[in-house]
Amino acid sequence: MSKIPEALHDYINTAFPKNVCLVGTVLPDGFANISPRGSVVVFDGDTLGLWDRGGRASSDALADGDKLMVYFRDTALGAVARGGNGLLPAGGIARFFGTSEIHRDGAACEQVWTTMVQPERDADPDKKGFAVLIRVERAEDLRGQPLA
């Protein structure tokens, strides 16, 4: 069974601009860095990808093997009693914890580039950034329960 439920794939891939994912990294000084990322996509059932345009504190902090967290929220997926569809009843929130892999070229880089929404590609017209794959180790809802 995949760690990223198939029912969430399209919602994650099209989250930008309304429901931009937040990605948490740890800076070299030990502080957390939370950054909005419009380029987060589902790479496969156990892997998220994102495009990093570089030049920011979060870019400088990324390296192979880093632990990352992706926070996804879409209130339309929340509790039915609150007007959502019930897919993620605890606030429409999913958290994905995983380990990073940096890809500056190759097939993985191309897949992230072509899967992310067009406005994110437009923001890096010279394609100077790089792909980050996040191998998801666990995925949970707001209450810490595994996603089904």
> Could you tell me the CA-to-CA distances from 68 to 22, 44, 50, 84 in Å, in that order?
10, 17, 12, 28
Q: What is the pLDDT of residues 77-106, one digit of tens each?
A: 999 888 889 999 889 999 999 999 999 999
- Dihedral of the CA atoms 73, 60, 54, 74 (nearest 10)? 0
pLDDT in tens, 109-130: 999 999 999 999 999 999 999 9
Statement: residue 139 has pLDDT above 60: yes
